[in-house]
A and B are shown apart, each in its own frame.
Chain A
């Protein structure tokens, strides 16, 4: 499918809204993310409000999506087709969680906080890209 100017504009706008929302929510801060995961220590529950707010709005919006025949700027919705909980899903999510806990970074906040110019953030983003390439080149398809 050909990418249109409208789609690129929508991606830029939604990306900026996402990055602004992350900034406002406090989730850009790895120390607060780790504080949320530290349930037996100095627990910071604020991430529940971030996730709760995000899921509530997205859930309400899904009602509209279900009534739409096609997206505004495309011919069809591209939703995940897999339904089975399988080994790659669980193992991948488990590894993701360990990495998330070690650094306090997940992909969205890490990319957004590149704008602050910290070298550590840039190194995280580069190694995350390396991890993705390693998976896609070497591991994809071997686990299922």
Chain B
């Protein structure tokens, strides 16, 4: 499968998962919300089950394709710590992340999600551009 087709198919499954979760449970499959509520101990069984499923995903991929999906980490440890803190604080303050705003928010044509996606794409692009000195 070509990389782009594989990305499109993977994206389609992510969308299917998000909409199925809404149809079945009535809840938004926003990962920062699910993990945030799990950390707070709210609906621990439900949110915990989603996170366990999420961790099982790459294992199912490995069982089907015979190898782990590629994960290349280049960031240094201090950078990873700063990144984790910012992603944690930012996703809670901004009421969502790439999944809640990026997938379901855009699909629901929510103005808040459109503003959030435009903002995090802009600061993300700016950060990588400065980090890699691409300009």
Q: How many A-B pairs with Cβ below 8 Å?
A: 493
What are the interface flags for B57-72 relative to A under an 8 Å C-beta threshold, 1 for contact and 0 otherwise? 1111100000011111
Residue of A nearest to B39 (CB): A129
Question: Do residues A49 and B87 form an inter-chain contact, with CB atoms below 8 A?
Answer: no
Chain A count of residues within 8 A CB distance of the other chain: 117
The size bracket of the interface on B is: 35 or more
Q: Chain A contact residues: over half helix, strand or loop, or mixed?
A: helix
**Max chain A CB contacts within 10 Å: which of B53, B129, B131?**
B53
Given contacts A15-B50, A58-B107, A116-B71, contact A71 B24 (CB under 8 A): yes
What are the interface flags for A109-129 relative to B under an 8 Å C-beta threshold, 1 for contact and 0 otherwise? 011111110101101111111
Q: Pick the residue among A12, A45, A76, A93 that contacts B26 (CB under 8 A).
A: A76
Q: Chain B contact residues: over half helix, strand or loop, or mixed?
A: helix
Contacting residues of chain B (70-102) with chain A, CB-CB under 8 angstroms: 70-75, 77, 79-95, 97-99, 101-102
Taking beta carbons and an 8 Å cutoff, which residues of A are in contact with B? 3, 6-32, 34, 37-41, 45-47, 49-62, 64-65, 68, 70-80, 82-85, 88-108, 110-116, 118, 120-121, 123-136, 139-140, 143
Known pairs A18-B53, A18-B57, A85-B111 / 19 extra A-B pairs, C-beta < 8 Å? A15-B52, A16-B57, A17-B16, A25-B11, A41-B132, A55-B15, A74-B25, A76-B26, A79-B108, A85-B115, A89-B94, A92-B95, A97-B120, A99-B84, A112-B57, A120-B77, A120-B80, A132-B91, A135-B88
6 contacts between A and B (CB under 8 A): A65-B22, A96-B90, A97-B90, A102-B82, A106-B99, A123-B81
